[in-house]
Structure 1
Amino acid sequence: MRLGKAMGHRWLAATAAAALAVTLGAAACSSDDDSSSDGARPPARAPPPLPLPHPAIPNGDLIVKHEGWLEAALPGTKITWTKFDSGGDVNTAVIAGSVDIGLAGSSPVTRGLSAPLNIPYQVAWIHDVIGPAESLVVRNDAGITDVAGLAGKKIGTPFASTAHYSLLAALEEAGVAQSAVTLVDLEPPDILAAWTRGDIDAAYVWSPTLDELKKTGTVLTDSAKLAAAGYPTFDLGVVTKKFAEAYPDALAEWLRQQDKAVKLIDSDPAKASAAIAAELNITPDEALAQTKGLVFLTGDEQLGAEYFGTPAAPGKFADGLLGAAEFLKTQAAIDAVPTLDTLRAGLGVEDLDSAFSG
């Protein structure tokens, strides 16, 4: 099954666990002030500890981390940032009760909202729409010029990630049976190591690991092309329903800081790229090039009909999740396809609308 083409963009990342200790404090108070995310509004209260997993992805989340905006907005909160390699790590940590907010790709999030996982979280934010920043690359010495040529080869990708989802879609589009290739479950750092050793012939992965592979490899297809073929993917911000209900002001502040980062990418790409570069230990020019492989949406844009919509007028985003779930069911990645109503209930539309409409 294909995703609805109207969604036309990205869904993201993968699997394995990292545990962070967290003790939730008292419920937060709410603030009715509707000033902007540039620091003018009074600080919201939140639990004293707030562990935040982040991946090595060149998007606004790294800007928020580097600039310390969330720490400034929530001065009473001890915020701990920890690097996670994939969205599967986030799923596992949420299930373990270790984190309440995290970034995961649309594929692991769809799995999380489906049986057997049924994770009690909701999609609160679209960090980015995946384009060429996530690609299928083959070694130059493999002598392969198209996806069909991968039959009989070893391909590395983080299982249960958007890259894995896109790889399966690419093979299907090329008429290559999954059984005709050897898929190897590897996190991005392990993909680079396996590539260097010559243990794999190809990989579907995201930047910045992708950029290293491209130095000795050739891109066969990417997530922008697969989105156009009906397989869009996204990097999504998820929050547990427990946290959203207990700390609505803290969640709203987190959303506003993410929106602030997206606006900085658009208004001052040099400053945004410098912040991302510092977090990824790459040059600003490299960071700028990587951000161009993604599409970033402001909060207002996410409330449009193409994405979340509003509480009164649901958008098309849940329909895209349904298409992804149908595809994942054909791959035996989930037990059953959830209903459209179930997926709509998994979107934090009211929280997003409240954060940007006052």
Structure 2
Amino acid sequence: MSSPNTPPRDHARRRLLKCATWGVVSLTAGAWGIAPGQRALAQERIKMLRIGYQKYGTLVLLRARGTLEKRLADQGIGVSWLEFPAGPQLLEGLNAGAVDFGTVGETPPIFAQAAGVDFVYVGNEPPAPKSEAIVVPQRSPLTSVAQLRGKRVALNRGSNVHYLLVRALERAGLAYTDIHPVYLAPADARAAFTQGSIDAWVIWDPYFAAIQRQTGARVLADGTGFVDNLQFYLASRRFATTAPQLVHAVIDSLAQVDAWAKTHPGEIARELAPITGLDAATIEIAARRASYGVVPVSPQVLAAQQTIADTFTELKLIPKQIAVKDAQWLA
């Protein structure tokens, strides 16, 4: 029991973490000391799989279809879906113990690992460089990335577009310190963009598609030639170690959705429009720029992630050097 002198805020925080933390003993005998005969008992205690997702992507399709719930129902396992505005916020949820599995872009795992978040990479979608871009208002005088010197550029700090901005500036002969980064979540950045209080916005789909269609925003550069823009699936290390069969179940369900999505962008748009609150035409633009086909995370992909990590270390945007391979899932 907490001390009566514990501040109320600490009481609330402890209650939140107690409710959020996935309180299941491990199924892995070697890692957590559970005898083989106890594995079935531990499995019975798993009642809820908590998935963090963002406004758009294969996980949203999986949620809309309910196929994962059906797959896990006979095991007595439910699925809880938690929406986050961007990858960094999702990883905060994973770090707090409120999320078991989620999806993010290339950069959030780098910042999270540097901050001590304990997760593993469990899969990724193919490259989708056209799904993110640096955009400016339709009537902006800016026509190239080189003209961003001294300008206010909005982005979600630590999100997938952070690396795009760094690479694009580098190619244009600018240092990161040559611009004025304004760190805003997508909703706030959109408001700043439409109100004219920033000069450019680095953003991903479907927000990218929406600002193009709704305001005529112009693209200074998308990810082509700069970044792969991979979509990663991550799991908390404890969850992946404890219940690898559930991780595989989610990945397999995603693969089935991906196989269909590759050739049905129009149907994706009609299915997701009412869920996302965006019109079908906007979603279809995003769907046609996306990539589908989840695969295991390869050594080459981890090496590319290490390059991103080293870049952010050099720029002092993360507090320490990290070894990306430490977050590799070995199941």
Q: TM-score, normalised by structure 2?
A: 0.82
Of structures 1 and 2, the larger Rg is shown by 2
Q: Secondary structure at the match of 1:292?
A: helix
Q: 1:201: how far off?
A: 1.3
Say if 2:290 is the partner of 1:294.
yes
CA distance in 2, matches of 1:191, 1:241: 32
Equivalent of 1:249, from 245, 251, 258?
245
Say if 2:170 is the partner of 1:135.
no
CA distance in 1, matches of 2:118, 2:111: 12
Q: Aligned residue for 1:204?
A: 202
Q: Taking structure 1 as reference, are residues 45 and 237 closer, same or farther at Cα in structure 2, changes over 3 Å only?
A: farther
Q: 1:277: how far off?
A: 2.5
Q: Secondary structure at the match of 2:20?
A: coil
Q: 1:152: how far off?
A: 2.1
CA distance in 2, matches of 1:150, 1:90: 30
Could you tell me which amino acid in structure 1 is paired with residue 78 of structure 2? Answer: K
Q: Aligned residue for 1:48?
A: 47
Q: Aligned residue for 2:300?
A: 316
Judge conservation of contact 2:150–2:179 (CA < 8 Å) in 1.
yes
Q: 1:347: how far off?
A: 2.2
Deviations 1:244-271 (A, max 9, x none): 1211221111111111111111244443
Could you tell me which amino acid in structure 2 is paired with residue 198 of structure 1? Answer: G
Q: Taking structure 1 as reference, are residues 146 and 265 closer, same or farther at Cα in structure 2, changes over 3 Å only?
A: same
Q: 1:45: how far off?
A: 6.6
Q: Aligned residue for 1:283?
A: 279
Say if 2:294 is the partner of 1:273.
no
Equivalent of 1:233, from 229, 242, 258?
229
Q: Aligned residue for 2:254?
A: 258
Judge conservation of contact 2:132–2:223 (CA < 8 Å) in 1.
yes
Q: Aligned residue for 2:167?
A: 169
CA distance in 2, matches of 1:23, 1:140: 46
Greater relative contact order (CA < 8 Å, ≥ 6 in sequence): 1
Judge conservation of contact 1:265–1:273 (CA < 8 Å) in 2.
no
Q: 1:158: how far off?
A: 0.3
Say if 2:312 is the partner of 1:328.
yes
Deviations 1:295-340 (A, max 9, x none): 2224xxx24xxx52xxxxxx3111111111111111112233334x
Say if 2:101 is the partner of 1:101.
yes
Could you tell me which amino acid in structure 2 is paired with residue 51 of structure 1? Answer: R
Say if 2:91 is the partner of 1:91.
yes
* Structure 2: tracts of 5 or more residues without a match: 1-15, 29-42
Q: Taking structure 1 as reference, are residues 249 and 28 closer, same or farther at Cα in structure 2, changes over 3 Å only?
A: farther
CA distance in 1, matches of 2:198, 2:183: 11
Q: Aligned residue for 2:122?
A: 124
Q: 1:240: how far off?
A: 1.1
Q: Taking structure 1 as reference, are residues 27 and 138 closer, same or farther at Cα in structure 2, changes over 3 Å only?
A: same
Say if 2:325 is the partner of 1:344.
yes
Deviations 1:269-307 (A, max 9, x none): 443333232322233343222122222224xxx24xxx5
Could you tell me which amino acid in structure 2 is paired with residue 336 of structure 1? Answer: K
Equivalent of 1:61, from 59, 62, 69?
59
CA distance in 2, matches of 1:218, 1:286: 15
CA distance in 2, matches of 1:316, 1:195: 36
Q: Which moved more, 1:324-333 or 1:73-82?
A: 73-82
Judge conservation of contact 1:46–1:250 (CA < 8 Å) in 2.
no
Q: Secondary structure at the match of 1:196?
A: helix
CA distance in 1, matches of 2:182, 2:268: 34
Residue correspondences, number:
297
Judge conservation of contact 1:133–1:294 (CA < 8 Å) in 2.
yes
Q: Aligned residue for 2:39?
A: none
Q: Aligned residue for 2:3?
A: none
Judge conservation of contact 1:61–1:127 (CA < 8 Å) in 2.
no
CA distance in 2, matches of 1:66, 1:45: 27
Q: Among the aligned pairs, what percent are the same residue?
A: 21
Q: Taking structure 1 as reference, are residues 94 and 278 closer, same or farther at Cα in structure 2, changes over 3 Å only?
A: same
Q: Aligned residue for 2:150?
A: 152
